Structure 1
Amino acid sequence: MRRILGAIALMLAVALPVPGAAQVGRDAEVWTWDGRVEAGRWFRLSSVNGPVTIEPSSDNMVHVRAEKTVRRGNITDVAFQVVQSGGDVRVCALWRRSVCEEDGMHSPRGNNDNDRSDVKVRFIVRVPRGVRLQASTVNGSMSVRDMTADVLASSVNGGVQVRNAGGQVRATTVNGGVDVTTRTGPVTATTVNGDVDVRMESLQSSGEMEFETVNGNVRVETPSTLDANVSLETMHGTLLTDYPLQIQGRFGPKSASGTVGRGGRVIKLTTLNGNVELRKGR
């Protein structure tokens, strides 16, 4: 659970603004930004209210499109800020008087502007393959596909989907499912209310992997060849695995653990209310 809370804190953290990084796009229904980010550098996106879709670009440029939808309040309630530092680029969507600071996005004390405003921002972003990605929203879904470098994708109220990833993946939410497919791994996927579903074609780097929910099922498909120390645990549910693990407990809490192949990395699958499956890929 500490990992989940830590992931939420990371999701809310955004970049330290530099002098001169002005807020823009406050009067616009659609705001766009285009810029270059080199392979190996970070592109970071932080939003609060609305879905995020991220796909690869075809011209080695980052292309950001933000579409505002107003249900209550005013289109000017949301502005944007772009911070470029050391080759990394950070984009923030700012509601009313919110600001970007070193440790996250903040609103002034006693500010209840958001109670009177409901402006959603739909982000559609294209990022070059090879650029490392961190993207977050609070209320909305998160969808990332075909990225070849590290992906950190998160929401609070919304599902998170990462498809065909080629680097390390960390996908987190609180209310919603997490669905990840990757060519290389490693992967960490966590939620509180929702299912965790992960498929890995291969594992080309070491590192502990954790797949966790509280209310939901956990299903992980590993490569056909696996070297790991694995553990499975549920309080109210069933354990299913293609690997020769000894399952402890028939009623109530159930657990299973053991060494697969030559051992090594640690893989944990955990839920409180739901089933746990560890499957071997073909």
Structure 2
Amino acid sequence: MEKFNLNIASLIVASSLFATTTQAEETKVIEKSFIVESGASFSIENINGRVEIEKASGNEIEVIATITAKNADDMERIAVLMEQSGSDVTVETKYKDSTWGNNHSSGSVAYKVKLPVSVADSEVDLVNGSLLLDEVSGKLDVDLVNGSIEANNLSGNSELNSVNGSVIVSYSELNSVNKIDVDTVNGSIKVYLPVDANIKVDAETMHGSIKSDFGLSVEKKLFAGKYMKGSVGNASTKLSLESVNGSIKVLTK
């Protein structure tokens, strides 16, 4: 009986080791940097994976891509393309065709990007993955399908859109900001602004509440939803906020 129990234990250990081996993921890291001049543009497109973008010193755009896949075959189907053409830098994730028709679910790519202040225009397009922005300057154009957006201490015009996910954005100053545009379908919106902000606000939601720290009144729409319109100071910055299913808050920092 003792020998039998030992054999069973050995089989359990062997099975556990086999399961661990077969479930191990493949990981690959790609790093690249680009020297850019003032007025440069940057764009990134990703299908599965989180993207983090932060301010960098100097004049280099730095990109670190971490590819994770279930196995070596899936890893081979994922390609990270990084290119520079003049003052334009583009980063894109590509998935090669799979014989099983499951092209985009076999792996993910997480990006960490450092952008210098010389970048004047940035564009981000994500399908499945959250986005973190920290002290990114210049114009921003962001579109997400499934994922939240957190943008801290921005200082340029921005358009931030998420279908399924919340958006939190804060501005350190509004001196060079003419427009802030945030839209969600299923997700809340929070905007943090300086106390002395000069803004013209146009906010509305179909299903959700609206709150403001700037003394603006909230009204009910004729059939459904709520809206808030008004100006603070000289109204030099236009703030447009819209959500279908989510609350909206305009708060002071």
Q: Settle same-fold status: TM greater than 0.5.
A: yes
The answer to which structure has the higher strand fraction is 2
Residue in structure 2 matched with residue 176 of structure 1 by the alignment: 147
Counterparts of 1:216 and 1:86, CA distance in 2: 38
Percentage of identical aligned residues: 29
Match among 130, 133, 136 for residue 165 of structure 1: 136
Tell me the amino acid that sits aligned with residue 67 of structure 1.
T
Tell me the amino acid that sits aligned with residue 180 of structure 2.
M
Match among 207, 222, 227 for residue 198 of structure 2: 227
The offset of 1:206, in angstroms, is: 4.2
The offset of 1:183, in angstroms, is: 4.5
Instruction: Give the aligned CA root-mean-square deviation in angstroms.
Output: 3.0
Q: Cα deviation per residue 1:82-110 (whole Å; 9 max; x = unaligned)?
A: 4432243334333226xxxxxxxxxxxxx
The offset of 1:245, in angstroms, is: 2.2
The answer to which structure has the higher helix fraction is 2
Counterparts of 1:120 and 1:114, CA distance in 2: 16
Q: Cα deviation per residue 1:178-214 (whole Å; 9 max; x = unaligned)?
A: 1112252333222122212111121122433212212
Alignment of 1:79-228 (within 5 A): 79-96=79-96, 115=102, 118-127=106-115, 129-132=116-119, 149-228=120-199
The offset of 1:168, in angstroms, is: 2.8
Contact preservation (8 Å) 1:154, 1:160: no
Counterparts of 2:177 and 2:114, CA distance in 1: 29
Tell me the secondary structure at the aligned position of residue 76 of structure 2.
Answer: helix
Residue in structure 1 matched with residue 22 of structure 2 by the alignment: none
The offset of 1:162, in angstroms, is: 0.9
TM-score, normalization by structure 2: 0.73
Counterparts of 1:179 and 1:261, CA distance in 2: 27
The offset of 1:230, in angstroms, is: 0.9
Tell me the amino acid that sits aligned with residue 76 of structure 1.
E
Q: How many residues align?
A: 224
Counterparts of 1:49 and 1:206, CA distance in 2: 31
Q: List runs of 5+ in structure 1 lacking aligned partners.
A: 1-27, 98-110, 133-148
Q: Is 1:255 aligned to 2:227, yes or no?
A: yes
Counterparts of 1:185 and 1:277, CA distance in 2: 20
> Using a 3 Å threshold, how does the CA distance of structure 1 residues 40 and 248 change in structure 2: closer, same or farther?
same
Q: Which has the larger radius of gyration?
A: 2
TM-score, normalization by structure 1: 0.66
Counterparts of 1:182 and 1:213, CA distance in 2: 20
> Using a 3 Å threshold, how does the CA distance of structure 1 residues 89 and 187 change in structure 2: closer, same or farther?
closer
Contact preservation (8 Å) 1:160, 1:172: no
> Using a 3 Å threshold, how does the CA distance of structure 1 residues 225 and 120 change in structure 2: closer, same or farther?
same
The offset of 1:29, in angstroms, is: 4.0
The offset of 1:249, in angstroms, is: 2.0
